[in-house]
Structure 1
Amino acid sequence: MKLALVGDIGGTNARFALWNNGQIKSVKTLAAADFASPELAIGHYLSSLGLAPDTLSNLCLGCAGPVSGENFRFTNNHWTLNRTAFRQALELDNLLLINDFTAMALGMTRLRESERIQICPGAAESGSPSLVIGPGTGLGVSTLLPDDKDQWRVLSGEGGHVDLPIGSLREAALWQQLFGELGHVRAEDILSGSGLTRLYRSICALDKHVPQLSTPAEISAAALAGDPVAEEVLSLFCIWLGRVTGNNVLTMGTRGGVYIVGGVIPRFATFFQSSGFADSLCSKGSMSHYLKGVPVWLVTAEYPGLEGAGVALQQMLESASNFPGR
């Protein structure tokens, strides 16, 4: 029997699952660093299920980085991929590569109410696009658009690499500190797991504290325990995320709602709910009214990227069956 496989490959982890009857099955998470190539990781995944590589027919991978052309280099890990060689190696009938945040955005179409937490109240504007944004190994940003054929389209980009916006004198001072270290300060340089550590070091340097913490997990735990420096790190992180999110809502008109995804925020979800995120999201001067009432949810679903890769694969196969000559 020929199988369909979906993957969600980020900078750190590669998640794989079988896609069967519109559902993900047999999910496994592998460390990208443990494999020299995605082909080897997929071979290991199939072997762990007692399956041979030639049992695959269709494959969709959500990949960290801009997806175009014959050759693809993953962002934030060492993997590369040549479409033709990859397809031949796995004997695939169909290979679909999409940006990992395209997959993440499509995953929002399958959320249950129990898999999201309301952060900002409001009513989603019917027919309007939605924003999907999330700090993880990097900062992903995508726009989800409904169409008139009961399908979904995604505008993917590299929004995590926009310039970090400044909204206060304190932020300006920290930006100068960061600029001295990095030269060019992107949103992702702060709004990511490693960004928490970078922001902590910058605050310590600016205020002449001796750093005591070295990992995002330590910083989050210390902040929740009341450490004032770590608490400012989380507070500014949430404020900056609100500022970047608000800029994206204004740019793309995403009044269909905002989905906060990724592995960072759920570690301090209660703190995030009462943080300055909501105020900084709406603090846009004469356009502040535009953002009030835009609903924001924190997504707690376990595998939205895999679900979205399945949606993308299913839409592609349905389109091919409807237009077999294409």
Structure 2
Amino acid sequence: MRVICDIGGTHIRLAQDNGGRDPIDPRRYPVSNFADLYDAVNFYCTESGVHDVESVAVAAAANDLGDGVYRFFNNEGWAIDPAALRKRGMVLHGVINDFAASAWGMTCVPDHALHVVRGAQSDHHHPRAILGPGTGLGLAYALPLENGRWRVQGTHGGHMMAACLNDEHHLICELVGRLNGLNRMVIVEDMVSGRGLPTLYRAVCQMNGDDALPLENAANVLDYADNPSVVETLRLFHEFLGLFMHNVAITLESYGGLYLDGGLTARLHERGLFDGARVLDFMTLNPAPSVRADLEKTPVFIVNDPYIALRGLIAMDRSDRKNGK
């Protein structure tokens, strides 16, 4: 039996993989509760009564920069060192991008775990994309192959340069860049993410000449959803998300479906704050008629499965074993 982990910027999700199709006994904890992966897995195993762990597989926004250590984009205090884990008796089965794992999960997610924003489940003839704001902004694609198989492509899509449609968008991007003290271009994640939402709020206040409330995180911002500046912030958030989705869809012709995932997406949906109509408006824009036709037929869903990346780790492993990898 192996333990599977989905490590985000805010939470870590763990479960058991016993060779079936579904994660067994999935649980979620704040990442800040643990010093490292070893501590998190040990805590989970103690809580769930697991004693025969053979290996650990991980989905995370982390990269090996050449020294064999996986370092995190949105959790600077964490790193995964396979050699150090082996010395402590833990075998790392692999680390893949968290949204790549979610893309594998998307290929087998049940209909009841999807909230329909537009359309219905697609056939398997077109690529699909899974994207969305959590602590950061993730994106991955699932590309259909023959015989019902898939190939998954992870990306750094959240680091795509922010697209702007009008003067207000350009001004907001300029203000976000100043507030962040950036010496680089403003990326979509700077606004469409959990860490970006408070900055977007402060930019709106600056634009309007208003005093900003001390809203330090996304949860604080959503707690003031009736505040006029927060209302305007959420409008812009959904417009930038729609523009991002436009680029995501046409880049790989992922007209098989756009699947919105991530903790902030889930929170907006749960609180009735997700503005699907505005997102679809800005996703479709006014492109060439043939492109518009493809965009308008593209299904859009919100993923209601908080453990889709764990489901994806299982699906990827089954695919690898089936193909002799």
TM-score normalised by structure 2 residue count: 0.89
Aligned to 1:229: 229
CA 1:68 to 1:153, structure 2 compared with 1: closer, same or farther past 3 Å? farther
Could you give the per-residue CA deviations for residues 54-101 of structure 1, whole angstroms, max 9, x where no partner exists? Answer: x22243210113357522112211111223333453353x71211111
CA distance in 2, matches of 1:313, 1:89: 25
Which consecutive unaligned segments of at least 5 residues does structure 1 have? none
SS at match of 1:29: strand
Instruction: Quote the residue 1:313 is aligned against.
Output: 317
Superposition map of 1:210-229 within 5 A: 210-212=211-213, 214=215, 215-223=217-225, 225=226, 227-229=227-229
Contact 1:56 1:90 in 2 (8 A): no
Distance in 2 between the 1:234 and 1:64 partners?
Answer: 25
| 1:87–1:95 contact (8 Å) kept in structure 2 | no
The structural deviation recorded for 1:9 is: 0.6
- How far, CA to CA, are the matches of 1:30 and 1:310 in structure 2? 20
Contact kept in structure 1, 2:179 and 2:199, CA below 8 Å: no
Q: Identify unmatched segments of 5+ residues in structure 2.
A: none
Structure 1 residue 136: Cα displacement: 0.4
Aligned residue number for residue 274 of structure 2: 272
Aligned length in residues: 314
SS of alignment partner, residue 26 of structure 1: strand
Match of 2:113 in 1: 115
Q: Whole-Å Cα distance in 2 between the matches of residues 203 and 261 of structure 1?
A: 25
Quick one: distance in 2 between partners of 1:134 and 1:126? 22
Give the distance between the partners of 1:312 and 1:123, measured in 2 at CA. 21
Alpha-carbon RMSD across the aligned residues, in angstroms, is: 2.1
Equivalent position of 1:90 in the other structure: 89
SS of 1:23's equivalent in the other structure is coil
Sequence identity, in percent? Answer: 27
Cα deviation, 1:211-262, whole Å, max 9, x if unaligned, reads: 1351423432433x4x322111111111110100110111111011100111
Residues 114-263 of structure 1: matches in 2 within 5 Å?
A: 114-121=112-119, 124=122, 126-182=124-180, 183=182, 184-212=185-213, 214=215, 215-223=217-225, 225=226, 227-263=227-263
**Maintained 8 Å contact 1:108/1:304:** yes
- Which letter does structure 2 place at the counterpart of 1:233? T
Whole-Å separation in 1 of the counterparts to 2:150 and 2:65: 20
Distance 1:158 1:65 in 2: 11
- DSSP-derived class of the 1:134 partner: strand
Decide whether aligned partners of structure 1 residues 31 and 19 sit closer, same or farther in structure 2, where only a CA change above 3 A counts: same
Deviates more, 1:183-192 or 1:32-41: 32-41
The residue number in structure 1 matching 2:3 is 5
CA distance in 1, matches of 2:64, 2:145: 22
The answer to whether 1:64 aligns with 2:61 is yes
Q: TM-score, normalised by structure 1?
A: 0.89
Q: Which residue of 2 aligns with 1:292?
A: 296
> Residue type matched to 2:171 in 1?
A
